[in-house]
Structure 1
Amino acid sequence: MRSPAELDDVRWSRLGNALGPAEDVPKLIRVLYGDDAEAADEALYDLFDYLHHQGAISRASGPAVPFLAHAALHAPGRRDKVLVLLAVLAGHDPSALAPPRRPRIGSAAAFAELRAELRAVLPELLPCLEDPDRGVRRAALRTVAAVADLVRDELRSLVVERVETLYADDPVPAVRADALVVLDRFGRAPESLDSPLPQVRLAAAQLAAERSGPPYAAELVAVFTEDGAEPDFGEDDHPWSGTATQEQRITALLAGDPDAGLGVAARWIAAGDIGSRGSWLAGRVAEKWRDREHEVLELSLAALPHTSKPASLLRTIAYWVECLPEPDAALRDGLHRYATTADDETAEPALHALVNARDPRALDLVLSRPTGRLIAAAARRFPEAGDRLVPLIRRELAAGATAGDGTALIQALAPLGAAAHAALPELADCLRTGRAAVAAARRLGVDGENTPEITGLLLDATRSGRALSRTVAAVAHFRVTGDPETALLTYQEVLSSGGGQPYSHLIGLEPMGAAAAPLLPLVEFLLERGGPATREGAAEAHLWITGSPDRAVPVLTALAGTTGVGLNALKALAAAGCSPKDLHPALRSYASSPTRLMPDSPRSGQVHPDDELRTVSRLLLAMG
């Protein structure tokens, strides 16, 4: 344990992470000792961000531990928060780091150093287990648990004795439950499923479920069902591992057993959906498992009267309802009630869900209170209503719709057929003023006419400062005029520059087909030397230009899989009519898996990529 007087003995400037050198760490630690509570809280927030940035520790995390331990004992009024920071750092999960291609901030050596530092100061932190503040006792238990496997034999018996005392005698049930988890880390947990305390029973069931894995025994599910519905189940805001609380861990466990998870979610929702935990659990099941959307939507609808944030839950319903082939009448009627009787904040997502449920009543409601988002959704779901929707799209674009709204409105023209041609003046104005310019240029390539105004606007856009705007406008210019010269020159410049994201340009070449043949040397270069996304885009471009699968199919086959690039590769193979035999074992697993193989956010507004994966896998298998 080291006092603030020793902070300058550490060469913090040589320690750092993605945020830069660690020179601010000693300044922030010193703030913890001051009387300004607000400043100290901000310092703790910044320390958490620096030492555990985006889920990864830094090289400064280990050297900071002795100073944080001293602050836990001597800084006024923040003992529980500092202990939580120590517990989170030592409970760091390296596998939770984001994108695999991103360099890891916290190396294995840095993590080992951090845990060794915490083990060294643990004896001095043990009095915190007897602190009069329940929050401090709970945070101290988390800290002990984080290094339980490192505690030396001479200290182990003392630690276990103190934790056993908390388990047996602490007046706070949640502290007893925490103590049970710590005893389990030491291999000393008593059988507690029959405890008179629901918090202890829940902890015992959680530990047993973690050991057994799904499907869970009926007695464990019964504990989760009944005790998890209690109000104080959600009181735990102290993390056990990384930044996960007990409630989050139990939710993740139950999501691993869909039948048990949905049964428990139904009970929690019927009990009032306290903390939205039942609807949250149901959503996690839908995210993890295929073909459970109908059950999840029924539960979500039942949870709506209990939630304090119905708009959020309705947005989730709007996403999952798209996955149902035929949403039933009860679900649609429930959404219609919210869309017609709720306040504006709730009515709009309810109406969006009703549109996605393909309910005929939704179209008239959208026409009576249109927004850009609702109009775009209605165009996708009711393409036969182009004569009614295009005037609304034109009005919104003329009113100045920009960025995401403008792009969504322009993209909504695609399914509306001949009626979309009426929007040419608004598309031209969007391109002229730079509002949703990429979408506008792309759409002008489809609906545009070979007039001086349109060709001039597209030609001007090929000189834009944005590479994507240039290539999209260049291809649109080709589609309108039939002259490939501008597009070829633009693509030569952009693809030869070596910057940006070549994939987004390469996939735009499809309309040019064989007219893009002069670009083949560049495409073939990227086919062999680009990153995965670039090679996938180059393979598609090669197919469009040459009409031959010889070069592209081996590349697409090698890239195929359960990533975004892999899914695009599979779709390209299907479009080319090629179903390589080497892929068939993987395709069978993609098509038959009961779990989702590709994740997605339930608020993305797009078709779930896992549904696309299953569909394209079945299509490729059917090709033989």
Structure 2
Amino acid sequence: MKSPAELEDVQWHTLTHAYGSAEDVPELIRALYQGDEETADEAIHELYGNIHHQGTVYPASAPAVPFLAHAVQHAPGKREDLLMLLATLADHGQGDTESPRWPGSSVAAICAELARVLPGLLPCLEDTERGVRRAALRVVAAVAELLPAEVRGEVPARVEVLYATDPVPAVRADAMVVLTRSGSSRVEEALDSPLPEVRVAAAVLAAERSGPPYAPRLVRILADDGGDPDPGDDSFPWPGTGSPDQHLTELLAQDPDAGLTVAAGWIRAGDIGSRGSWLAQQIMETWRGREPEVLDLLLAALPHRADAGTLSYGLSTIGRWIRHIPEPAPELRDALYEYARTEQEESAGPALLALTHSGDPRALDLVLQRPDAQTLKAAALSFPEAGDRLIPAIRSALAAGATGNAAIDLVGALERFGTAAGQARPELVDCLRTGRGAIAAARLLGCTGVPSPEPTALLLEAVQSADASLSIAAAVAHYQLSGEAEPALRTVETLLATAKGPTHWHLVSLTPLGSAAAPLLPTIEPLLTARYDWTRMAAAEAHHAITGSPDRAVPVLAELVSAAPVGLSALKALAATGELPEHLRPTLRAFAFSPLRLLSDTPFSEEAHPDEELRALAWRLLTDG
């Protein structure tokens, strides 16, 4: 260990951390000794941000270790925090030490320093504060396999005492983990411990070791004992830098059957901290086809949500996913209907939205009784045949002066009714004139409007807008109404020439122009080889829309097809060409038959789940081809 007096012996100005020179590290370490809690907290916070930053360590990190270890013993009141900082700095996977890059790495240097100072930290294992004992165990665990022989013999004996006698079950569980990492496994005996905290820790270790599918015994322990974590466990996350819940969720998500069994057990036990709901949701986001089971669990968890905020969140989660199920269970729809009918607006709103997403016909009457922009848009998506009832309500809401996202949602709702949305032309024109959802209104006017002087003139005026998105949307809509391509061509050409960022947003707007955009081909063709993948994708899509020929577009799009947002867009554009290169078939089969979700959902989107789009499109291309 090194005292603050020795800080000047280190050439800190030659070392670096997350923000450059490490010259500020000595000042932060000295701040730990000033006896002021707020100053010490700020210093620790700064150290977490520079010598350790989002899981990364730096050349300045290892030289700080002996000074931090000294502060553990001599700086007042921050033993637990400083021990956890040391453990976090030394965090590494068990396989990292076998990597060719381990020697000479910053983490290896930290672990070497920590192993050297560890004997001076071992008395913290007998500290009167449970948090300090737990933090000390985490420090030991961080370097357990790297300790020199003379220390390796002393550590297990001290840890054995904690495992056998500590009055805090969570400390005993941690001690068992340290013993296991030190090579003296207690996992099998710990699975039969009378303490649930120890049993859960042992089950986690056993599951990590075995991998999925997990043994029924382990699943049973986690389901029965893991739903109510130690209420005093406010220590820094372990293992790794994620929280214990996060680690366990990630572990269980690897085995969906086991994970759902555990989630069900936690929900039956009261869904404390919404842990069961969260686990079930993570499995649904990881695996395909588990939505019905998970929604049943989320429904069972609703009575455990004691306050309006958490109930609203639970209903919103159901609403987010229920739209991806062709036939939601009647029990689920009935429950949503009852919640939607209540006078509790905070829960009734999300429940009505979820009921609408489910396609339950009872939702339509409730939406019309208390219409708002979001539910009207959802109703338009779920009940496109009800335009005669919904369009008047949407027009009324627009005429009442809806602004911002509400106006955008209402115009988006009208889009679902195709040419029938032309009934709302007066409202759309007013939106364009007043700038309420103007971009969406301009696009819809172009798609469903009938040529007439006022909207055409307004669109031409909007072409001059400083808002590039409004300018190009108005230019394309003006072409659709008037047949005059020049304003659109001039606008796109200017935007492409002056854009300081990505240009794909402008390129995708060209599709409605078709061959009328041919004068722009000399500008578009060089973009087929642009460095940015989204630009190449949009250029290929535009090239095909303009020329009608797949020859230049298909090779670009085929190269971009992947399980990523740009890859899905490329696949959609490729499908529009009618061409399917043979070498893509194995990739499409992987998309179609993967049990795992390959794309994540887009929160707050009313569209199909991207992964469902990917799977359905891949399947269609395979069968059509």
When the two structures are superposed, what TM-score results if normalisation uses the length of structure 2?
A: 0.90
Aligned residue type for 1:583: L
SS at match of 1:323: coil
The equivalent of 2:75 in structure 1 is 75
The 5-angstrom pairing of residues 3-402 of structure 1 reads 3-4=3-4, 11=12, 15-17=16-18, 28-57=28-57, 60-91=60-91, 109-190=105-186, 191=188, 192-230=190-228, 232=230, 235=233, 237-308=235-306, 309-341=310-342, 343-402=344-403
Contact 2:475–2:491 (8 Å) recurs in 1 = yes
Alignment CA distance shift 1:426-1:26 (3 Å) = farther
Q: Determine the C-alpha separation between the residues in 1 that align with 2:602 and 2:591.
A: 20
CA contact (8 A) 2:135 2:235 kept: no
Distance 1:7 1:440 in 2: 65
Q: Deviations over 1:413-440 (max 9, x none)?
A: 1102344224334433433444433323
Partner of 1:472: 473
Offset of 1:479 from its aligned partner? 1.4
Higher relative CO (Cα under 8 Å, sequence separation at least 6) belongs to: 1
Alpha-carbon separation, structure 2, partners of 1:603 and 1:462: 30
Q: Which deviations, in whole Å up to 9, do the C-alpha atoms of 1:556-576 show, x marking residues without a partner?
A: 111111111111111222222
The 5 A counterparts of 1:464-613 are: 464-600=465-601, 604-613=605-614
More deviation, 429-438/411-420: 429-438
**Structure-1 separation of matches of 2:543 and 2:430:** 34
Distance change >3 Å, CA 536–CA 168, structure 1 → 2? same
Gaps of 5+ in 1: 96-106
**For 1:283-328, what per-residue CA distance to the aligned partner results, in whole angstroms no more than 9, with x for missing partners?**
1111111111001001100010012311111111111111111112
Once the two structures are superposed, residues 549-593 of structure 1 have per-residue CA deviations (whole angstroms, 9 ceiling, x without a partner) of 111111111111111111111122222222221111121121111
Q: State the distance in 2 between where 1:396 and 1:42 align.
A: 51
CA contact (8 A) 1:84 1:142 kept: yes
Residue 353 (structure 1) shift:
0.8
Question: Is residue 149–residue 185 contact of structure 1 (8 Å, CA) maintained in 2?
Answer: yes
Distance 1:184 1:397 in 2: 65
1:45-101 alpha-carbon deviations (Å, 9 max, x no partner): 444344444444455544544443343333332322232233233326899xxxxxx
Task: Tell whether the 8 Å contact from 1:227 to 1:233 is kept in structure 2 after alignment.
Answer: no
Deviation at 1:35, TM superposition (A): 4.6
Contact residue 236 and residue 246 of structure 1 kept, 8 A: no
One-letter amino acid matched to 2:550? P
Deviations 1:225-259 (A, max 9, x none): 21123453894653123332333222222221111
Aligned CA distance change for structure 1 residues 584 and 234 (closer, same or farther; 3 Å): farther
- Three-state SS of the structure 1 residue aligned to 2:341 is helix
- Read off the aligned partner of 1:470 and give its amino acid letter: S
CA contact (8 A) 2:17 2:61 kept: no
Tell me what 2:100 maps to: none
Query: Per the alignment, in what secondary structure is the counterpart of residue 232 of structure 1?
Result: coil
Residue by residue, what CA displacement relative to the aligned partner does 1:452-493 show, whole Å, maximum 9, x if unpaired?
443333333333333333322221221122111111111112
Deviations for 1:334-366, whole angstroms, at most 9, x for unmatched residues? 111111226211111111111111111112222
Taking a change above 3 Å as real, the CA distance of residues 454 and 603 of structure 1, as seen in their structure-2 partners, is closer
Q: What is the root-mean-square deviation in Å for CA atoms of aligned residues?
A: 2.8
Question: Letter of the aligned partner of 2:553 in structure 1?
Answer: A
1:56, 1:94 within 8 Å by CA — same for their partners in 2?
no
Please list the CA deviations of residues 398-424 of structure 1 after superposition, one character each: whole Å capped at 9, or x if unmatched: 455444333222222110234422433
Aligned residues: 613
- Aligned-pair identity in percent equals 57
Q: Give the Å deviation of 1:2.
A: 4.3
Q: Secondary structure at the match of 1:413?
A: helix
Preserved contact between residue 424 and residue 448 of structure 1 (Cα < 8 Å): yes
Alpha carbons 1:233, 1:247 under 8 Å: kept: no
Q: Is the 8 A contact 1:66 1:117 kept in 2?
A: yes
Shift in alpha-carbon separation, 1:184–1:386, aligned structure 2, 3 A: same
Checking the alignment, whether the CA contact within 8 Å between 2:316 and 2:350 is kept in structure 1 is: yes
Between stretches 406-415 and 551-560, larger displacement belongs to 406-415
Is the radius of gyration larger for structure 1 or structure 2? Answer: 2
How has the CA–CA distance of structure 1 residues 31 and 194 changed in structure 2, closer, same or farther, with 3 Å as cutoff?
Answer: same
Alpha-carbon contact 1:119-1:147 (below 8 Å) kept: yes
Q: TM-score if structure 1 supplies the norm length?
A: 0.90
Aligned-partner residue type, residue 226 of structure 2: G
8 Å CA contact 1:12, 1:25 repeated in 2: no
Instruction: List per-residue Cα deviations over 1:157-179 (Å, max 9, x = no partner).
Output: 22222222221221111011111
Determine if contact 2:32/2:40 at 8 Å carries over to the other structure.
yes
Distance 1:327 1:72, change over 3 A: same
Change (3 A) 1:296 1:189: same
Is the Cα–Cα contact under 8 Å of residues 237 and 245 in structure 1 kept in the other structure?
A: no
Whether the 8 Å CA contact 2:12–2:60 is kept in 1: the answer is no
Once residues 23 and 93 of structure 1 are traced to their aligned partners in structure 2, the CA distance between those partners, rounded to angstroms, is 30
2:144 aligned partner, one-letter code: A
Contact 1:88–1:241 under 8 Å retained in 2: no
Deviation at 1:117?
A: 4.0
The aligned counterpart of 1:99 is: none
Q: Which moved more, 1:226-235 or 1:364-373?
A: 226-235
Report the counterpart of residue 430 of structure 1 in structure 2. 431
Per-residue displacement from partner, 1:239-282 (whole Å, max 9, x unpaired)?
12333233322222222111121122112111111221111111
In 2 relative to 1, CA 69–465 (structure 1 residues): closer, same or farther, beyond 3 Å? farther
Give the aligned residue type for 2:448. D
Deviates more, 1:565-574 or 1:34-43: 34-43
Contact 1:264 1:278 in 2 (8 A): yes
Aligned partners of 2:131 and 2:235 also within 8 Å = no
Structure 2 unaligned blocks of 5 or more: 96-102
Question: Residues 234 and 275 of structure 1 are in contact (CA less than 8 Å); yes or no, is this contact kept in structure 2?
Answer: no
Contact 1:34 1:40 in 2 (8 A): yes
| TM-aligned CA distance change 1:225 to 1:108, over 3 Å | farther
Moved more, 323-332 or 440-449: 440-449
For residue 99 of structure 2, what is the aligned residue in structure 1? Answer: none
* Farther-moved stretch of structure 1 (460-469 vs 352-361): 460-469
